[in-house]
A and B are shown apart, each in its own frame.
Chain A
Amino acid sequence: MNARDDSKGGTVRAGYVRPLDIRNGRIDMSHGAGGRAAAQLVDEIFLAAFDNPWLRQGDDGAALVMPAGHTLVMATDAHVISPLFFPGGDIGCLSVHGTVNDVAMMGAVPLWLSASFILEEGFSLADLQRIVQSMAAAAREAGVAVVTGDTKVVEKGKGDGVFISTTGVGAVPPGVRVSGAQARPGDVILLSGPVGDHGVAVLSQRESLEFETTIVSDTAALNGLVAAMLEVCPGVRALRDPTRGGLATTLNEIARQSGVGMLIDEAAIPVRPEVDAACELLGLDPLYVANEGKLVAIVPAAAADAVLAAMRAHPRGREAVRIGVVQEDPHRFVQMATRFGGRRVVDWLAGEQLPRIC
């Protein structure tokens, strides 16, 4: 509202803007039009939650100073999850964890994030605030700042509530070089904990599939765990978080990148009984179900025990285990010794994982 003289009575306070009605308000097209409504949305929801010197500056971008001698790492991730809120998390914290973890898997210390939001017309402001606050809390916990961002609004029916895209920048200390292309025959494969929690927690909330489970998503930032691992072994060869496509896909990616094979032991791979049961019922294989707070590490055999001990000493790696070894194989197969006593290929996921009918 403009501050002007109003002879009909009432007092107009200079600079006063009526606060957003967060409880009942909804996103409309004006929130994306770049005018006052857009500025208000940014101020009251985004700035209020993410507050930091870069954002307070009010510029179009953030000027960042890299620690001397470090290598810059950048990673980006788009988040389109449905449902937006699930047991153990929401799209907000997930969009921070996902990108922080991608940066951390490069051996980098994550420092800054950008965040852009595509909002659907009609989306509730209360939900948006809840999501943004969850993002802010996740960023604080991971020790990163959201230093720049953007908001766009699309017409109703052209989005799914909210899509969030985040980009992360981190710094790799001198002497550390982590890459999926560095696995060597003889290396040991470590896993930071049970697989499948996130995928099953999300599935349990899907419309048409709702089932009751005590499983919550494992969504978490892993940069602290990675730091603890690199401290005992700066020569960690490869790190990766098995998100979409699950553990099986991640191992195949590393095997292909490094030109090696792998042999893993089914009995060593932890799966919570509830996850196992849900997968059994739904006809899914937990090895292909997504995780958001787990990592796979390839380490030289000589360092395996020390790294494993460091993982177990960290809250995010308490259930860490050794699951197999890297081996020479021109065909780059990931093989698994089954609990049953046989051996099989653990292949790439073909298409989407679809439930079997029988």
Chain B
Amino acid sequence: MKYIDEFRDGDIARRIAERLQAEVDPSRQYGFMEFCGGHTHAISRYGVNDLLPANVRMIHGPGCPVCVLPIGRIDMAIRLALDHGAIVCTYGDTLRVPASGGLSLMRAKARGGDIRMVYSAADALTVARDNPQREVVFFAIGFETTTPPTALAILRAQREGLNNFSVLCCHVLTPAAITHILESPEVSRYGTVPLDGFVGPAHVSIVIGSAPYEPFAAAYRKPVVIAGFEPLDVMQAVLMLVRQVNEGRAEVENEFTRAVDRQGNAGAQHKMAQVFAMRPAFEWRGLGEVPHSALCMRPEFAQFDAERRFDIGYSAVADNKACECGAILRGVKKPTDCRIFGTVCTPENPVGSCMVSSEGACAAHYAYGRFKDIPVRASA
């Protein structure tokens, strides 16, 4: 595939791997967090870790939108379908996230909830147009990547006078989450998470640009390299991070210049600002309450706001006690440090959110990497 295969080329990967090997300082360890689930997925699926020097450790960040969605929010979507009889339209990988009472959206569907998988907010609008006698709710999740399409859908619904469409808004913001991790005691005080820099988001940065990362790169002295979601992008970004660390720099660099510039997509930003306002705080699964980290709908769009329209409140639900998702999302623990990883908690029966989406740190490790933790006898 043109524009894809070029970024998955094994020969180029080996050349970057040789460069990396030559440039890393063997006397030190490097710890880099890839914020996005898209990067986590690429690293696991293509086996990128195998090509990195032994003293470079990739730490999976909280940038999997499905993983950070708290149980209470899924419960709200389920209530809309089961108690309010609404058609709930959702992105596919949200369907299996475990919710309260042994439910998930998929199980709620089996109990008669009208829950439909869509590929975009626009598809949810189509469902609303096709079912004028039914309430249709779009379960809007994701970072800045999926937010502008939600804004567009709401604006279009308003223009069309679509009275049966609303949005359960759970959009969250990337810079706030990165700052939260940098402020966490493990990083800022105890140093138990040796974080030397970030592989910055790909698609999010297309929307917000590279400028929003500049304040914390400077304030926390952590380099950020924005990278695409292909495996070569990740390799190149790691090389750029190693160079920054070696040279004592902490800058925002852009590896993903084919799609990202400093300012981002002004049109998309404008639509977001038009429809959404900042929530004072929002609960992230694994991270807890994070101030100014999520969006809600402006009062003038109240009729499209499912929370107000159905008057449903949010109530927090505690995670399973044995689940280490919180520590894993902050980079404090690895999936294999969790007692229930691969035994009680598997992709078929996920306990924690990290096991649900293939972008989650635990699911990615379970699906693609777990043979590395179990000694495998050499072939006969």
A: residues with CB less than 8 A from B are 185-186, 208-209, 261, 263, 267, 273, 276-277, 280, 282-283, 325, 327-331, 333, 335, 338-345, 347, 350-351, 354-358
**B50 adjacent to A341 (CB under 8 Å):** yes
**A333 adjacent to B46 (CB under 8 Å):** no
Decide if the interface of chain A is mainly helix, strand, loop or mixed: loop
**B92 adjacent to A354 (CB under 8 Å):** yes
Q: Mark B366-377 against chain A: 1 for CB-CB distance below 8 A, else 0.
A: 111111001011
Interface residue? B229 (CB, 8 A): yes
B: residues with CB less than 8 A from A are 1, 4, 8, 10, 13-14, 17, 36-38, 41, 44-51, 64-66, 91-96, 106, 117-119, 123, 126, 141-142, 145-146, 203, 229, 231, 346-348, 357-359, 363, 366-371, 374, 376-377, 379-380
A341 cross-chain contacts in B, Cβ below 8 A: 10, 13-14, 17, 47, 50-51
**B368 adjacent to A273 (CB under 8 Å):** no
Given contact pairs A331-B376, A347-B347, enumerate 18 new A-B contacts (beta carbons under 8 Å): A185-B380, A208-B119, A208-B126, A261-B376, A282-B119, A327-B379, A329-B377, A340-B231, A341-B10, A341-B17, A344-B47, A350-B348, A354-B93, A356-B37, A356-B359, A357-B66, A358-B37, A358-B203
19 contacts between A and B (CB under 8 A): A208-B119, A280-B4, A328-B379, A329-B379, A331-B376, A340-B47, A341-B10, A341-B50, A342-B49, A344-B44, A344-B47, A347-B368, A350-B367, A356-B93, A356-B357, A357-B66, A357-B142, A358-B64, A358-B229
A340 cross-chain contacts in B, Cβ below 8 A: 8, 10, 13, 46-48, 51, 231
**A358 adjacent to B145 (CB under 8 Å):** yes
Known contacts A185-B380, A327-B380, A358-B36; A277/B10 CB under 8 A: no
Cα A273 to Cα B367 in complex, Å, equals 25
Cα A5 to Cα B220 in complex, Å, equals 102
With a 10 A CB-CB cut-off, give which of B37, B50, B357 has the most chain A CB atoms: B50
**A208 adjacent to B118 (CB under 8 Å):** yes
Q: Which of A280, A282, A283, A351 contacts B348 (CB 8 A)?
A: A351
**A328 adjacent to B10 (CB under 8 Å):** no
A209 cross-chain contacts in B, Cβ below 8 A: 119
Cα A338 to Cα B117 in complex, Å, equals 31
With a 10 A CB-CB cut-off, give which of B37, B91, B203 has the most chain A CB atoms: B91
**A355 adjacent to B359 (CB under 8 Å):** no
Shortest distance between the CB of A26 and any CB in chain B (Å): 24
B13 cross-chain contacts in A, Cβ below 8 A: 340-341
Cα A178 to Cα B191 in complex, Å, equals 58
